[in-house]
Amino acid sequence: MQHESGGGEVLTQALVFLGATCVLIPALKKAKISTVMGFLIIGVAMGPHVLGRLAQGWPFLAAFEFEQSQPTLLLAELGIVFLLFVIGLEVSFERLWALRRYVFGLGFLQVALCTLAISGIALAFGNSFSVAAVLGLAFALSSTALVLQLLRERSQISTPVGRASFSILLMQDLMVVPILFVVAALSPTGSAFGDQVGLALVTALISLGAIIIIGRLLLRPLFRWVAAADSREIFIAAAFLAAIGMAGAAQMAGLSAALGAFLAGLLLAETEFRHQIETDLEPFKDLLLGLFFVTVGMQIDIPLFLNQPVLILIGVAGLFVVKGLIIAVLARVFGFAWPRALQMGLLLGQSGEFAFVVIAAARAGGAIPQDTAGYMLIVTALSIFVTPIVAGLGARLARRIYKAGSAAPPADAAQESGHVVIAGFGRVGATLADILSAQEISHVAIEGDAAAVSKFRDEGRPVHYGDASNAQTLESVGAANAAAIVVTINDPEAVERIVAEARRAWPHIPVYARARDGEHARRLHAAGAALASPDSIEAALQLGEALLNGVGIPDEIARRIIAERREEEVAKAIYSAPS
């Protein structure tokens, strides 16, 4: 079906996507189907190969069909850009440097050995050298978008398997430029490419360095300037500018746009703004990434699959077996236990979204025939489609092997836990932080005043910029694993809101709050606060202690009198709270 051109087409496709998301995704989640798999199913069912063919007999169905229009593909690519940007925010240069052995060792060996193995198998089945080489190069790479989203959904991005998988995917992104040069050289009109590949690598590295240096100089001042305006809309616009701007700069330099976005996130991970940026971009990232998975599902040609089901299924299964075994063996060599190594192999065994680019370039240059390209496309799309299922099996297999061996799985990388989260870092928050520091208790704070955050960061305090009344922002600094949450915001309504949201999200974590007065304290206790300290009462108690001392009451007796009074006031606030 052909929609009207221009803005009407974009609007129609947006309505179809949003309608399908709102209606079908909740139903699929109730059926215990992951969000990623749900979007893939929507792409298959509402794409040109299923709904599009049905619309030929029932024209009214054409209104609900997804089409691979240029705006749709562009928005889907933005989903990958935002995913890599958010992943970059979760990684710092220190963490990346700590992963260098996996990136340049495990990652490079994976790409090289998988390319050689898959190319060798293709040659053994009678394919020409150029076809075999394209098959190897395309299928050696995995789906960055899918794997990272699965790791994020399962909170495994910082586990050993998550870190190693991320390292492999990062090296794959770095190999984009050399692979495209090789594919271009494999076309009938291609020329010798040794010097070109070397030049491309040098150019890519220089461009990479220039992007990092310029980004480091510009991004922090930009966000400090924007945050000072105290406008969430402008702050979100700045986050969009950073992600898309760096992605565009990388693309113009011949690198992957996703790699540029990752670098932007990596640079901002070192700033006080990372948690607020992550919170603000999360909804946009998830929707656009869902659109990307829909476009992948649209490329699964059901009639072609029905014509050659055995050959295609052998291709998909063979891809997982060959890549999975190579990755598992390499992971074992790099120190992973066999259960984790097998889990990683199954997680990364699919082909990736970059295979679509390689196949298109090879087909345009005449390096592979049309029927081979069609076969590769459906194998790629199907391998992505089944990955959530295969990855789940891999995780269960790892747990079962450990259980059979009566040994506990190795501990995952320690995510920060047992710390105190302080919402608001004014006078009260800073005082509490000093008390915690004196007792060597780990803590982290969120504050909405950009100038104050900049000052505290210069002093070496663990303060991040963000909306402290937003539970998602608190979650981004580890509230789910915290020993306690302290709300010190000087806004009674915001304090009540965050106490209620924190208790709903993390009922096992005690929440302490600053209250305006006794009535406010009672409302906070009703909302679930473990303790609410009224400013007015505390000020009166402190004044009372000073007064007792001034009229001749000994210090110890004055402190005991005030302590007893404080307990009475706290009890009054708690027991006077409405039930």
pLDDT string in tens for the chain (579-residue length) = 444 455 566 677 777 777 877 887 788 777 777 677 788 888 888 888 788 888 888 887 777 777 766 766 677 777 778 777 877 776 667 667 777 888 889 999 999 999 999 999 999 988 888 889 989 998 999 988 788 878 877 767 767 788 889 889 888 877 776 777 787 777 766 554 445 556 656 766 777 778 778 878 888 888 888 888 878 888 888 888 888 888 888 888 777 777 788 888 888 877 778 778 877 877 777 777 777 778 777 877 788 788 888 888 999 999 999 999 999 999 999 888 888 899 999 999 999 878 877 887 788 778 888 888 888 888 988 898 889 889 888 888 887 776 665 444 444 333 455 788 888 888 778 877 887 776 667 888 888 888 888 888 878 888 888 877 777 778 778 887 888 888 888 888 888 888 888 888 888 888 888 887 777 878 887 887 877 767 655 656 566 666 666 666 777 777 777 777 766 666 655 555 444
**Buried b or exposed e, range 37-71, using 16+ CB within 10 angstroms:** bbbbbbbbbbbbbbbbeebeeeeebbebbbbebee
Topology (CATH level 3) of domain 420-575: Rossmann fold (3.40.50)
Q: How far is CA 327 from the centre of its chain?
A: 23
- The answer to whether residues 177 and 254 touch, using CB atoms and an 8 Å cutoff, is yes
- The answer to whether residues 433 and 456 touch, using CB atoms and an 8 Å cutoff, is no
What is the rounded CA–CA span in Å between residue 487 and residue 477?
14
**Buried b or exposed e, range 440-473, using 16+ CB within 10 angstroms:** eeebbbbbbbbeebbebbeeebbbbbbbbbbbbb
**Which phi and psi angles does 512 have, rounded to 5°?**
-110, 140
Comparing 70-404 with 420-575, is the CATH topology the same? Answer: no
Cβ count within 10 A of residue 197: 17
In terms of Cα–Cα distance, which of 104, 246, 99 is closest to 172?
A: 104
- The answer to whether residues 362 and 373 touch, using CB atoms and an 8 Å cutoff, is yes
What is the rounded CA–CA span in Å between residue 574 and residue 576?
6
Structure tokens at 65: 């069909």
Distances 92 to 262, 274, 453 between C-alpha atoms, Å: 11, 11, 19
Please state which CATH number belongs to domain 70-404: 1.20.1530.20
Phi/psi class of residue 460: alpha, beta or left (left: φ > 0; alpha: ψ in -120 to 50)?
Answer: left
- The answer to whether residues 573 and 522 touch, using CB atoms and an 8 Å cutoff, is yes
Would you kindly state where each structural domain of the chain is located, as residue ranges? 7-64, 70-404, 420-575
